[in-house]
Structure 1
Amino acid sequence: MVQLELLTSLLLFILLLLFLLFIKTCFTYAIKSNKSSSPPTKLPISYPLIGSNLTLVANMERSNQWIIKLLQNTTATHNGTNILDQSLGYPQLITTNPLNVQHILKTQFYIYPKGDIFRDGLSSFLGSGIFNADGEKWKFQRQISSHAFNTKSLRKFVETAVEVELHNRLLPLLSMTTTQKSVLDLQDILQRFAFDNICKSAFGFDPNYLSPSFPQPETEFAVAFEAATLLSTMRFGSIFRWIWKLKRALDIGSEKQLRIAVLFQAGPRICLGKAMAFLQMKGVVAGVMRQFRVVPAENGFEPVFVAYLTPKMKGGFPVRIEERGGE
């Protein structure tokens, strides 16, 4: 009896190894095929159990570009809407049809929750806050955030924080850049600007992530936030959800890094709304463009969009800053 159990366990272990080897072989082939092939003209092949995940994972670093090309090349036959097979039969819908977008995001919003897969993948990072909640929890937090954002005191505080960050840090930094005739990563600088303002407004402290001079500092909080964002995004790249869950249970690899990075989990988070982002954007544009000209450092620069939880350009945005002078 004991021998039979050992034999069964050994057989299951061998089958698991063979299955993982098969996945690795197919994944390697998918990557090579995607590097050498033309833009997608039809839906990717769907395999048993793993669906179309081989192609999706192989194109993860350029997923937006790949999906856009797929939609462009299949619009005539699929009316701007495709369904991709995820592992274990989970469907993923992608669409550019305006009627579908309106149906999902507006007219029938309440019947399209984020769902278990999304909430599961972001639970370590976002907890049960407004960005990761459904139903009544989401509605309750939405009401709180709407009330908080509409208070005059908060709006005034945000305006003051943006003004101080702009004149005490961002503008002096850009002025120094023109003097030194150096290249800076504008994406990194603006992320630091936004991070300082969000922390001051939402958490009540200034991380000093943007400095008025070089080199720019590294703060534990900002580094942890960036790492948590990337590692949480990687969960959605797993062919099977149980892979990252097993790594979390064993506290190894990317899941161990994520556990270490998430050091600011403190209950539900309140979204301050898009108006705060617009306020920052208007302040930066008005303050910077009045005094400086922003010029791409590379001729013919074409940004590549990277789809993390916080979207960004791959490799940053290198620019040169020039004084406007007497214009």
Structure 2
Amino acid sequence: MRGFGDILSDVIGDAIFAVDRERWQHQRKVASYELSTKVMRDFSSAVFKTNAVKLAHIISEAATCDQAIEIQGLFMKASLDSVVKIFLGIELNTMRGTNEEGTWFSNAFDEANANTLYRYVDFSWKIRLFLNIG
């Protein structure tokens, strides 16, 4: 059986989501201390609230103009904007698409996630990776 680490490592390295057992316990312990601080909670709450307001504004504008929007993609962009701001301190602004680098990163991130997800059903991915095919 393939482990999550093998499948996810090209996208997220050996971070907490891609390791097992002792390494996971160690990383969880370190992360839980950092993420449980009041400053981090307050900052992340503020970021999520700010992006929720941006999201609501975009939806309201679309409704007012009777414009169709792709809501799932918008929710994903809101989540990505929030997480990147919290953990990296970078404003991607992918919801509005005003940051060219943010849009590029978002598209690359989506593609990497889709390719990684495909590895769960494609049993030949390791061979193709080794041969640099695809």
TM-score by length of 1: 0.38
The AA in structure 1 aligned to 2:33 is: H
CA distance in 1, matches of 2:4, 2:38: 34
1:96-143 deviation per Cα after TM superposition (whole angstroms, max 9, x unaligned): xxxxxxxxxxxxxxxxxxxx5332222212221111111211011000
Report how many aligned residue pairs link the two structures.
Answer: 132
SS in structure 1 opposite 2:69?
strand
Identify unmatched segments of 5+ residues in structure 1.
1-89, 91-115, 254-327
Superposed displacement of residue 192, structure 1: 1.0
User: Which residue is equivalent to 2:19?
Assistant: 133
Q: Take 1:139 and 1:184, find their aligned partners in 2: how far apart are those partners?
A: 41
**1:251-303 per-position Cα deviation (integer Å, ceiling 9, x unaligned):** 221xxxxxxxxxxxxxxxxxxxxxxxxxxxxxxxxxxxxxxxxxxxxxxxxxx
SS at match of 2:3: helix
1:227-253 Cα shifts (integer Å, max 9, x gaps): 111111111212x4xx22221122221
Please point out which of 219, 239, 245 is paired with 2:126: 245
The letter for the 2-side match of 1:146 is: S
What percent identity do the matched residue pairs reach?
A: 28
The equivalent of 1:151 in structure 2 is 37
- In structure 2, stretches of 5+ residues that fail to align are none
Q: What is aligned with 2:106?
A: 222
Q: Aligned partner of 1:248: which letter? A: L
Task: Give runs of ≥4 in structure 1 deviating > 6 Å.
Answer: none
Task: Name the structure 1 match of 2:72.
Answer: 187
Structure 2 residue identity aligned to 1:157: F
Alignment partner of 1:233 is 2:117: yes
Aligned with residue 173 of structure 1, among 50, 58, 65: 58
Structure 1 residues 11-50: Cα deviation after superposition (integer angstroms, max 9, x where no partner): xxxxxxxxxxxxxxxxxxxxxxxxxxxxxxxxxxxxxxxx
1:28-177 aligned within 5 A: 116-167=2-53, 169-177=54-62
8 Å contact from structure 2 (residues 4, 19) kept in 1: no
| Equivalent position amino acid for 1:251 in 2 | N
Q: 1:118 to 1:178 in 2, by over 3 A?
A: closer
Equivalence for 1:198: 83
Amino acid at match of 1:181: D
Deviation at 1:221, TM superposition (A): 1.3
The DSSP-based 3-state class of the residue aligned with 2:40 is helix
Contact 2:51/2:78, CA 8 A, preserved across alignment = yes
**Secondary structure at the residue paired with 2:92?**
coil
C-alpha separation in 1, matches of 2:103 and 2:43: 23
Q: Please state whether the residue corresponding to 2:105 is helix, strand or coil.
A: helix
Give the Cα separation in 2 of the matches to 1:121 and 1:164: 34
Structure 2: how far apart are the matches of 1:117 and 1:137? 14
TM-score for the superposition, normalised by structure 2: 0.86
Residue 80 of structure 2 aligns with an amino acid whose one-letter code is F
Higher strand share: 1
Over aligned residue pairs, what C-alpha RMSD do you find?
2.1
Structure 2 counterpart of 1:190, which letter? F
SS across alignment from 1:181: coil
Could you tell me which amino acid in structure 2 is paired with residue 164 of structure 1?
A: T
Preserved contact between residue 47 and residue 82 of structure 2 (Cα < 8 Å): yes
AA matched with 1:173: I
Give, in whole Å, the separation in 2 of the partners of 1:245 and 1:196.
32
Which structure: greater helix fraction? 2
